[in-house]
Amino acid sequence: MKDIKLLLVDDEEEFVKALAERLCLRDLSSRTAFSGEQALKFVSDSAPDIMVLDLKMPGTSGLEVLRLVKRRYPSIQIIVLTGHGNDLDEAEARAIGVFDYLRKPVDIEVLVARIRAAHEESRRGACLTAATFAEAGDLDGAKRILE
């Protein structure tokens, strides 16, 4: 599924590089960001479909990235992947609108399945939005969304 625009965000550079390689072996290419600030810049320049996001990072935390992205780009599906989160963090992430919350270490096949499910959800949301535009008579807008 090379058509998925996937962003991996984690301050542990070796971990995120290894994860990107393992996902590539499963036909999922990705971009990487090593801080919350880099993630926000990437999102504003080229919004991904899916973001896999660590919570505990220096500077802008994963929860803050989650809040900002969901506020500005609600269609981006975000999967939290953290080794330091707790039940309160999970509850807060779910309240903000995270697609899923996973803990490290994660089975790579589970992560791949959740990325693909998030992509399907993203596509379903785009189709509903396009239908709304079409019903309102904005066929060009509907076409742009579907493209």
Residue type, 28: L
Which residues are paired to 102 by β-bridges? 81
Question: Does residue 105 have a cis peptide bond before it, meaning omega lies within 30 degrees of 0?
Answer: yes
State both tokens at 110.
């589970």
Q: For residues 52 and 62, what is the distance between their CA atoms, to the nearest angstrom?
A: 10
* CA nearest neighbour of 47 among 20, 64, 72: 72
Measured N-to-C along each axis, helices 108-135 and 139-146 cross at an angle, to the nearest 10 degrees, of 170
Q: What is the pLDDT of residue 1?
A: 46
Q: What is the pLDDT of residue 126?
A: 54
Taking CA atoms, 5 is separated from 18, 58, 87, 140, in Å, by 18, 25, 29, 23
Predicted model pTM: 0.85
Exposed / middle / buried, residue 48 (Cβ in 10 Å: 0-12, 13-18, 19+): buried
Asked if 63 and 98 count as a contact pair (C-beta separation under 8 A), the reply is: no
pLDDT tens digit string along 103-146?
Answer: 999 999 999 999 999 998 877 655 555 455 556 676 665 455 45
Domains (range + CATH), the chain: 6-115 (3.40.50.2300)
Q: For residues 8 and 50, what is the distance between their CA atoms, to the nearest angstrom?
A: 9
Per-residue pLDDT of the chain (147 residues; tens, 9 = 90+): 458 999 999 999 999 999 999 999 999 999 999 999 999 999 999 989 999 999 999 999 999 999 999 999 888 999 999 998 899 999 999 999 999 999 999 999 999 999 999 998 877 655 555 455 556 676 665 455 455
H/E segment holding residue 68 = helix 62-72
